[in-house]
Amino acid sequence: MDQQLFEKVDQYISNLVAPEDKVLQETIQSLDKASMPQISVTPTQGKFLQVLLLMSKAKRVLELGTLGAYSTIWMARAIPADGQVITVEFDPHHANIARQNIEKAGLSHQIDLRIGKAMDVLQELIANQEEAFDFVFIDADKQPYAEYFELALQLSHPGTVIICDNVIREGKVLDENTTDERVKGVQRFNQLLASNTQVEATIMQTVGAKEYDGMAIAVVK
């Protein structure tokens, strides 16, 4: 694979249809300043999420894995004024930086940032009989992806779109003898996705500015 070519094409696409404004640029910069990992979605992936949100006419969005709120901001900008994004972050330090970025973006009124384990928050939302979400973006720790997906289904309605990021792991999912727990987690999730009768789903390989990976896209029947 020619990584340099992928990066140049990704930049070409980004410049054409997914240019970052000052808020998004500063959100990425804030990760370095706070010694946080640069593992946000790319601009083209952020725009892809926006397009999917618009296609599904989503108003209520659930995100697992906020990091610095880069993807959160992309998504919140695609929902109507009376819409809401509930985003969940385990690390309090990450959540603090994310909250600052959300405030700079002027989106505090639309984004509900919750700190805690994604599993606990999902179970709490279910227990509280939270209104179903139109769109779910799962981009958190990989080991419990299958459990996150099953809980997300309980918070969905027919037509809900569920996106799970990083499910190819540079092709490492092909290694049946892997000892990498993150790879094992997405292998288990991918098998669940294939056998689940509640959704129509596919997995798209992704290349670009970041490593070779993939996104799972599911629509609840």
- The span from the CA of 209 to the CA of 8, in Å, is 8
Tens-place pLDDT, residues 137-152: 999 999 999 999 999 9
In this prediction, residue 1 has a pLDDT band, given cuts at 50, 70 and 90, of low
The model's pTM: 0.97
Provide the 3-class DSSP secondary structure of residue 175.
Answer: coil
Beta strands 213-220 and 156-165 are antiparallel
- The span from the CA of 188 to the CA of 199, in Å, is 16
Q: What's residue 211's pLDDT?
A: 81
- The span from the CA of 187 to the CA of 167, in Å, is 8
The dihedral region occupied by 129, where left means phi > 0, alpha psi between -120 and 50, and beta the remainder, is left
Those residues with Cβ within 8 angstroms of residue 212's Cβ, 6 or more apart along the chain or in another chain: 1, 168, 170, 171, 205, 206
- The span from the CA of 155 to the CA of 3, in Å, is 38
**What's the CA dihedral at 56, 57, 59, 65 to 10 degrees?**
30
78 in Cβ contact with 55 (< 8 Å):
no
Tens-place pLDDT, residues 29-83: 999 999 999 999 999 999 999 999 999 999 999 999 999 999 999 999 999 999 9
Tens-place pLDDT, residues 96-111: 999 999 999 999 999 9
137 in Cβ contact with 61 (< 8 Å):
yes
φ/ψ of residue 60, rounded to 5: -110, 120
